[in-house]
Amino acid sequence: MVAEEYRQRLLARLKEAEELNVDEGRLITEVTIFADKACIDEEITRLYSHIEQMKSIVAENVPVGRKLDFLVQEMNREVNTIGSKSNDLEITNCAVDLKSEIEKIREQIQNIE
């Protein structure tokens, strides 16, 4: 979806610049490069994995503070990467909200042994 929006914006810019001979192959190459750079699938997959790990760690009957602290750091890294790759305002806003929630979790973890 983001790649298609980028393709449309790129086409519109080319038309505005009165580029009548748009090389469709070059356009596809540029959109493909952009889509690869903007892809956040891996980060989302890892973020979900971290959430599942957090659930299982919390269920343990042993001291878990350090494990959770490390996990929250990893979650924060994934969200930072998502935010930096995003060219979509909605995704960027979600990343900011997630960072805020992760910070709240981190603060709570500081109170866990």
Residue 48: exposed, middle, or buried by beta-carbon count in 10 A (0-12, 13-18, 19+)?
exposed
Q: What is the pTM of this model?
A: 0.74
Q: In angstroms, what CA-CA distances link 106 with 4, 62, 101? A: 36, 19, 9
Tens digit of pLDDT for each residue in 3-19?
677 778 777 777 766 55
In angstroms, rounded to a whole number, what is the distance separating the alpha carbons of residues 8 and 3? 9
Contact status, residue 48 vs residue 74, Cβ threshold 8 Å: no
Tens digit of pLDDT for each residue in 78-104?
999 999 998 888 999 999 999 999 999
Tens digit of pLDDT for each residue in 50-77?
999 999 998 988 888 889 999 999 999 9
